[in-house]
Amino acid sequence: MHPPQWIAAWVLLLHGCAMDRPPQAASAKTDIRNCSAVPPYLPPTAINTTARLAALRGTMRAHSVHAYIVPSTDAHMSEYIAERDSRLGWLTGFTGSAGTVVVTWDKAALWTDSRYWIQAERQLDCNWELQRTTWIKSIGLWILEAVPVGGNISLDPFLFSIDTWNSYSQALHGSGRTLLPIETNLVDQVWGDQRPPPASSEIYSLPAAFTGSSWQEKVAGIRQQMEQHVRRPTAVLLSGLEETAWLFNLRGNDIPYNPVFYSYTLLTNTSISLFVDETRLSAAARQSLRAGCPGPLCVELQEYGQARAHLRRYAQGNVTVWLGTEYTTYGLYGVIPQEKLLEDSYSPVMLAKAVKNAKEQELLRAAHVRDAVAVIQYLLWLEKMVPQGEVDEFSGAQHIDMLRQAQEHNCGPSFQSISASGLNAALAHYSPSNRSSRKLSVDEMYLSDTGGQYLDGTTDITRTMHWGVPTPLQKEAYTRVLMGNIDLSRLIFPPNTAGRVVESFARRALWNVGLNYGHGTGHGIGNFLSVHEWPVGFQSNNVPLTAGMFTSIEPGYYRDGEFGIRIEDVALVVEAQTKVAQWGWAGEGGTAPGGLHQGRGGGTHAPPAGLGAPNATSLPQHQTGEKPFLTFEVVSLVPYDRNLIDLSLLSPEQIRYLNAYYETIRARVGPELQRQRLEEEYRWLQRNTEPFPLGSAAAAAAATATLGTLALASLLSALLTGLQA
C-alpha cells in the first residue's frame, strides 16, 4: 500500500475511535443541556415545558388518549409554517423545521434529523428525549414500548399526509393498540387564546410581467392532462399552498418567507372552486378570478373551512378525484370513496409548476443577477468590518437582508438568514438571535446561507469564508466541498435520471477521504414561491430531473464544535450540447472556447470528470434517436472564497470550469454593478474572478485521493491529542 494511503487509513481509523469515545467532563459544553447532571443543566436557549406538558396530558386523559403524535407541519403539509401552526415548537421550544413529537402520560420524545440534533440539545429541556432519527418505524417501536396493550394512539388527521397515516397504521398494526384520529387538535385546546390569530393580510395578483403564463392557460393545460389520462379523472384536488398560488398567479403573506395563502382548490372539467378567505382578496385578484363568469373559467369563491364538506358532496356523484398523496391530508382523503380516487405522489399541478417555461427561466436568471449584487455588497462589507470587530452573526444577517431589500422587485428574505461563525456553523440550519450571537472573527470560518424573494424569482445561496489564515484541514475540507459542487454542476447525465442517482458526485471528493455531510444535496426552488420547492431535488422521493427544473446544489462538511462549510448554488437543468463519442455519451452541438460544452440554457459546462478520452473520435450525432442528455446551468453568480481554495487538489477540468464560471459572473453581474454605480463592488468582483492558473493543477496528476499533507498532519496531531486526553 502506498505510504500516503496507509497513513490516511490509519488517521481515519483513529478518527473513528475518537468519535466513539465518551465525552470527557473537562470538555463539557455549556451551550447544550446536560440532563445527567445534578441538578440538570439547561442552557439559556432551553424553554421550560413542564406546565405545557402537564396541561396536554390532562386533555389526553379526558379524551382517553394514551399517546398523542404532533408533527411540525400544517394542514397543507407545508415545510415552513405560520406561528399559529407551530404546535410542535410551542410545546417543546424546538424551532427546527422538521420533527415529530410523541407525548404519553409519563414520557415525551422528539424525533428529528441530523441537521437539528445539536439545535435540539440547545432548545429542549429535560422533559424530552431526543431520538436521532425520523423513521416512523422508530417512532412506532417507541410507542409500543411506552403504551400498554389496549391503549389509544391519537393524532389530528388534518396534519398528516395519506402516506404518513398509512405508515403509522402499519407500524401499529396487530399490536393491540388503536390508531385513533381526533379532529379536535389537543395542542390547540391547551394553547387556548394564547395561540396567534389567523392571517389577515391581502391576497393579491402577481403582475403579468412576472408570470410564465396566464392562470387560464394553466387551467387549460391541467384539464388537457385530465382528458388525456387513461382514468379520465373528473377533478383535481389541490391541497399544497404553492399549487393554488401558482395556478392562479396569486400571492399572499400567510407563511413567513413564503408568499402563499391558506387555500384549497377543486378543479373539475367544467368548474373551478377556490376555498379561501374571500374578504382578503384584492380587487384586482377578485376581478381576475371572476372575469370568466359564468362559464368553465369562472372561479367560484367558497369559504376556506368548507373544503371538506364540499369535497364530500362532490364525491357522492359519478366522479374520479385526482390528487397527490404527499400533500393531501388523511382528513380530506378519508371523505372520498376509494374507488373514486386517482392517486399519484404529486398532483399534475405540482409537476407542471416544477418545470419552468422559457419566460420563467429568464425571470429567475434576472433575479439571481440582482441577488448577486446584494451578496457581493455584503461580502465586501464583511471584508471591511470584520477585522474591526464590529460585526456579529445577528447584525450580519440583518445587513444582508437590508441590502437585498434595496434591490429592484425585492419582497424580503426567502428564509431566516443563516449567519454562523466558528462552531455555530457546524449546525447546518443555525440562525442567530439577539440572545445567541457570536462576533465574527478573522480567525474563524463564517457561513452565510441567505436568500431573497423577488417578484421574478426566489434565490438561495451559501458562501463560506475565512478572512485570516485557515488551518490546513479547513482549507482542504472547503476545497473538497467545492470539488463536489463543481463535479455535480458540470455533470452530463441521461434524460429521466433521478436526482438520487447522481447525488453522489457531490460527495465523492469528501468520500475519498472518509468525510461526508448529513443533509440533502439540493432542493427545488420556485418563481417567487417556496425556497424549498418539491418535488425537485436529489432525494429518493424526488421526481426525475427534467430540462426546465431549478435545483440547489449544496454539499457541505461540518466539524462539531469547530466549524462548518457549505457551498450552495442554484442551477437550471438544461439539455447538454455534446457529441456522440466512443465512450457512449449522446448529444448535439459544438463546444465553447476552451473545450467547454455549451448548454441550451446559456451556461457553459465542462465534460464529465473522468470520461475524457484524448483519442476519442466524434461520431454522427443522435444516430439512435435518443433524447438529449442533460446537465446544469448554474444561475447563482457569486465567486467562491479564494483564500480557502487549495488549487493543488483541483483537476485541470475543475479549474477550467471555475474560470468559465467566473467569466460568466463577470459578463452578467459586472454590467449590473456598473448600472447601479457600485464601482467599488465592481472592482471587488474583478479581483475575485481573476482566472486561476492551470499550472497550479500540475501536482494534481500525481495526487491521490488522500488528505493533503498539511491537513493530514493537522488532523493526526488533533486526534493524537484527543486520544491522550
pLDDT tens digits, residue range 650-682? 999 999 999 999 999 999 999 999 999 999 999
352 Cα distance to chain centroid: 19
Cα torsion angle, 135, 141, 144, 147, sign: negative
CA atoms within 13 A on the CB side of 584: 4
For residue 47, pLDDT beyond 80: yes
For residue 26, pLDDT beyond 50: no
> Given a cut of 50, is residue 714 above it in pLDDT?
no
Give the residue, 715 or 260, on which the prediction is more confident. Answer: 260
Residue % of the chain over a pLDDT of 70: 85
Return all residues near 133 (Cβ < 8 A) that are at least 6 apart. Answer: 111, 113
- Quick one: pLDDT band at residue 708, thresholds 50, 70, 90? very low
pLDDT band for position 540 (cuts 50, 70, 90): confident
- In eight-state DSSP terms, residue 209 is G
From CA 139, how far away is CA 161, in angstroms rounded? 16
Q: Find out whether 271 and 300 touch, Cβ atoms under 8 Å.
A: yes
User: What length does the chain have?
Assistant: 725
Q: How many angstroms separate the CA atoms of 81 and 87, rounded?
A: 10
Average pLDDT over residues 689-702: 70
| pLDDT computed for residue 31 by the predictor | 82
**Under a CB-based contact definition with an 8 Å cutoff, are residues 185 and 87 in contact?**
yes
Is the pLDDT confidence value at 326 over 70? yes
Strands (E), 139-297: 152-155, 178-181, 204-205, 235-238, 250-251, 264-268, 272-275
Contact present, 416 and 450 (Cβ < 8 Å) = no
At 647 the pLDDT is 97
Q: Name the amino acid, one letter, at 245.
A: A
List, for residues 214-264, the tens digit of each pLDDT value. Answer: 999 999 999 999 999 999 999 999 999 999 999 999 999 999 999 999 999
Q: How far apart are CA 20 and CA 455, in angstroms?
A: 49
Average pLDDT over residues 189-206: 96
Give the CA distances from residue 411 to residues 371, 458, 564, in Å, rounded to whole numbers and listed in that order: 12, 10, 29
What distance, in Å, lies between the first and last C-alpha atoms of the chain?
31
Q: How confident is the model at residue 432 (pLDDT cuts 50, 70, 90)?
A: confident
The pLDDT of residue 29 is: 65
Residue 241 backbone phi and psi in degrees, to 5: -65, -35
Residue 625 has pLDDT above 70, yes or no: no
Q: Radius of gyration (Cα) for the chain, nearest Å?
A: 27
Give Cα 141 distance to the centre of its chain: 29
**What is the tens place of the pLDDT at every residue in 373-399?**
999 999 999 999 999 999 999 999 999
Biggest CA pair distance of the chain: 81
Considering the chain, what is the average pLDDT of its residues? 88
pLDDT at 316: 97
Evaluate if residue 124 carries a pLDDT over 60: yes
| Residue 27 confidence (pLDDT) | 35
The answer, yes or no, to whether residue 3 has pLDDT greater than 90, is no
| pLDDT at residue 24 in the model | 31
Q: Are 565 and 493 in contact (CB under 8 A)?
A: no
Three-class SS state of 79: coil
- 428 confidence band (pLDDT: 50, 70, 90): confident
Please say if the pLDDT value at position 610 is more than 60.
Answer: no
Residue 698 corresponds to which cell in the numbers above? Answer: 500540475
* Contact status, residue 653 vs residue 612, Cβ threshold 8 Å: yes
Percentage of residues in the chain having pLDDT higher than 90: 80
Mean pLDDT of 431-448: 89
Q: Per-residue pLDDT for 403 more than 70?
A: yes
**E strands within 17-88?**
67-71
Give pLDDT tens digits for 555-586.
999 998 899 999 999 999 999 987 653 344 33
What is residue 541's predicted lDDT score, i.e. its pLDDT? 86
715 contacts 559 by C-beta, under 8 angstroms = no
- Which pLDDT belongs to residue 433? 76
Tell me the C-alpha distance between 724 and 280, whole Å: 66
Is the CA virtual torsion 199, 202, 208, 213 positive or negative?
Answer: positive
Closest CA relative to residue 571, chosen from 611, 541, 529, 601: 601
